[in-house]
Structure 1
């Protein structure tokens, strides 16, 4: 196992992460996650990164505070979360070495494809190197949607995520409507359909 660099404020979170990513399921409660880890990827379906500073996202939607951040994809491209405003958004927090995350990949990619244009899906990778994040995206076939490289845990902290294989689902107004683990992505499609239908 390769060494991982953690920032001091995430040491306790890392211990939770390491114990929480076994092969057997995990917590499904909405109250035990936050934002502290990485993200990865770029996507052909992703609107161009960048902001005009107007406080509006794609299509003129007002940008909620939750989406007022920038990051870099695993491919090294700039990513502006303001482009997500106005549509429901799934943030999938994962780590490259996590078997539960790998088990969620296929269903997450399917939900992204099935909801293209209606909802956003963004991976937020952490707890490892960018090279490992890129390998995970390639190995799991999830390159069709953007993945943020959050090696410093800034996006994870923003959403108070303390362990990988967690979903944070925001409605079109940027309000968190679900936070937790969905083993193998089960019911992710239903949760998104409830926001897009």
Structure 2
């Protein structure tokens, strides 16, 4: 029994645990940082419309598979949806390479190498989506496949 508990603890610490519960707060978009190109970014700029936050890592094969879907959400919904990739668990050079190799130039990418924004949202694994409605309420926090992502986004964008 102890062995099972230890295995579960290791899995949770390794990023195989559950996501933080959905939350509402005026401060949910109260974060700032720099995009991978060094440009300052303020999360408050996403307020007032639905937002899709995509937490990814540059070495993550699942994230690479999702990149085109996130790019498609940006192109489909344009200025009706705020889309932000939040890159972690890698260097800035690796983040640039990921964006370039996967050809996702329309998706703004925040460099969160230090994990500040990941911790704010309770992210324990990549790839995770956090989808917020117009009021800033988190409506989805977790993994979405290529069918669920467009359906969930369409539901909040309207």
- Does the pair score TM above 0.5? yes
Task: Please report how far the alpha carbon of residue 64 of structure 1 lies from its aligned counterpart in structure 2 after TM superposition.
Answer: 2.4
> Which is helix-richer, 1 or 2?
2
Secondary structure of the corresponding residue to residue 167 of structure 1 = strand
Give the structure 1 partner of residue 149 of structure 2: 188
Q: Which residue number corresponds to residue 34 of structure 2?
A: 72
Q: 2:14 aligns with which of 16, 39, 44?
A: 16
Partners of 1:187 and 1:138 in 2: CA distance? 26
Partner Cα separation in structure 2 for residue 33 and residue 71 of structure 1: 23
Moved over 3 A (4+): 12-15
Q: CA deviation at 1:14?
A: 9.0
After superposition, the CA RMSD in angstroms is 1.9
Q: Which runs of 5+ in 2 are unaligned?
A: 1-9
Query: Would the aligned equivalents of 2:70 and 2:107 in 1 still touch at CA under 8 Å?
Result: no
Larger fraction in strand: 2
TM-score by length of 1: 0.69
1:87 aligns with 2:49: yes
Distance 1:116 1:95, change over 3 A: same
When normalised by structure 2's length, the TM-score is: 0.85
Deviation at 1:186, TM superposition (A): 2.8
Aligned residues of 1:107 and 1:186 also touching (Cα < 8 A): no
Aligned 8 A contact 2:57 2:89 in 1 = yes
Change (3 A) 1:13 1:69: farther
Give the Cα–Cα distance (whole angstroms) in 1 for the partners of residues 131 and 74 of structure 2. 13
CA separation in 1, counterparts of 2:30 and 2:13? Answer: 29
Match status 1:33 vs 2:16: no
Aligned match of 2:82: 120
Task: Identify the residue that residue 7 of structure 1 maps to in structure 2.
Answer: none
**Counterparts of 1:166 and 1:89, CA distance in 2:** 14
